[in-house]
Structure 1
C-alpha cells in the first residue's frame, strides 16, 4: 500500500509531489545546517548578523518554500476531477465497519468491501457515509478523501493496469476503524464488461 509505488496517474502525481517536497526540505535543512556551522566557525571580526539572518537565514528558505507552495497548488489543481466521456462513476457509502459500492454503469448492482473498476479509465468515486466521518484511501491509486455525513465528495482514481489494490479508511471513526478496509479490483475491458452485464459476480 505504499504511496511511493503508484499504480495510477493520480498516485504518480502525488508520489512526485512527495519527492519534490522532500528535496526542497532537504535543501533548506542542509543550508541551515551549513549556516550554523559557519556561525560557529566564522573568523573573528565577521559580525554582519543582519546579512546572515535576513539574507541567508530567511531569504533562501522563503524562496524554496514559495516555489514548493506554487508547485503544490499547480499539482493540486491537476488532480481535480474533470468531465470526460470515458469517466466511470461509482458511489461509495461507508459505515461502521464496511463499504458499499454502487455502479452507474450497472444499475442495481452493489458490492460490499470490494470496489470494481475498469483499468486504464478514470473513475469518479462519489463518497459519502451513513454514520460518522470515514475516509476513502487507495494509496497506490489516488489521494485520500473524507466521507462526510450528508455530503458527497468526489475523488478520481485510475489504475494503469488490471490488478488488486488495497484501500482503507484512514480516519479515526470509533473502535474497530483500524480494520475498516476494502479491496479495489481493476479489470481489463472484457472483464469489466462481464462485470457490468452481470456475467461475473
Structure 2
C-alpha cells in the first residue's frame, strides 16, 4: 500500500500546486474517515459492554449515531473540499506564461506551441517552463481521451470538436509521467506521454529547436 504513495504517477507525490491540493485533500479525507470510523467503533463497543446503553431505543442510535454525529466531520470535509477544489482548477493560479495545445488521437498526443496551433510541435513529449504556469488547451481527433499528469494536476477530458483547458505548474525542473485516464480502445494502456519541466531559459531554447511540423522530438 505504501508503494502507491510515491512514483512517477502517484498523486501523493506532488510536484506542483494543483497536485498538492489533490494530495492534501486526500490526506484530509483519510483523516476524516478515520475519525468517523473511530467514533462508530466507539459506539459499537459501548453498546456491547455498557448495560446502561443496552436499553437505548434503536431510533436514538440511528438519529444520534447515524445522523447527528457525522454532521460536524462531514461539514468540515465539505468546506475543505471546496477550498482545495479552487486550487485544483486554477482559481488562484498565476496568469499563464504560455499557452500550449495538446491534441489527442489513437494513441498519441500531438503538442503544438505558440498561438492558434501555429508554432513548433512535438509528439508525446510536453515541454513546460519550471516555476511558471502554463495553460494546456486539450482536444481530440477521434474519441474521448483524458489528459492527466498525476504529479502536476488533476485530469481533464479531451473531447472531439471541443476544447478544454487546464493549467499546469511544476515547482522545479524534472520529468513527469502523463497518461490517458479515459479508456479509449485497445491501445489505451500504451497512450502515455512525458512532461519535461525546464528552467525558463532552457525552455525557450528547446522550443526554438523543435520542428515546425508535428513529429517526434
TM-score (norm 2): 0.85
Q: Counterpart of 1:189?
A: 200
Does structure 2 conserve the Cα–Cα contact (< 8 Å) formed by 1:145 and 1:155? yes
Q: Counterpart of 1:81?
A: 90
Does structure 2 conserve the Cα–Cα contact (< 8 Å) formed by 1:81 and 1:124? no
Q: Counterpart of 1:104?
A: 114
Does structure 2 conserve the Cα–Cα contact (< 8 Å) formed by 1:134 and 1:170? yes
Give me the whole-angstrom Cα distance separating, in 1, the residues matched to 2:94 and 2:86. 16
Matches within 5 A, 1:1-201: 1-43=9-51, 46-49=54-57, 50-81=59-90, 84-104=94-114, 107-198=118-209
Structure with more strand by fraction: 1
Does structure 2 conserve the Cα–Cα contact (< 8 Å) formed by 1:35 and 1:57? no
Cα offsets for 1:73-93 (capped at 9, x unmatched): 121123333585553211111
Corresponding residue SS for 2:63: helix
Distance 1:199 1:110, change over 3 A: closer
Q: Which runs of no fewer than 5 residues in structure 2 stay unpaired?
A: 1-8, 212-216
Q: How many residues align?
A: 201
Does structure 1 conserve the Cα–Cα contact (< 8 Å) formed by 2:18 and 2:90? no
Structure 1 residue 46: Cα displacement: 4.4
Corresponding residue SS for 1:67: helix
Mean Cα deviation higher: 92-101 or 50-59: 50-59
Give me the whole-angstrom Cα distance separating, in 1, the residues matched to 2:206 and 2:178. 20
Give me the whole-angstrom Cα distance separating, in 2, the residues matched to 1:76 and 1:148. 22
Does structure 2 conserve the Cα–Cα contact (< 8 Å) formed by 1:134 and 1:147? yes
Mean Cα deviation higher: 120-129 or 83-92: 83-92
CA RMSD in angstroms, aligned pairs only = 2.1
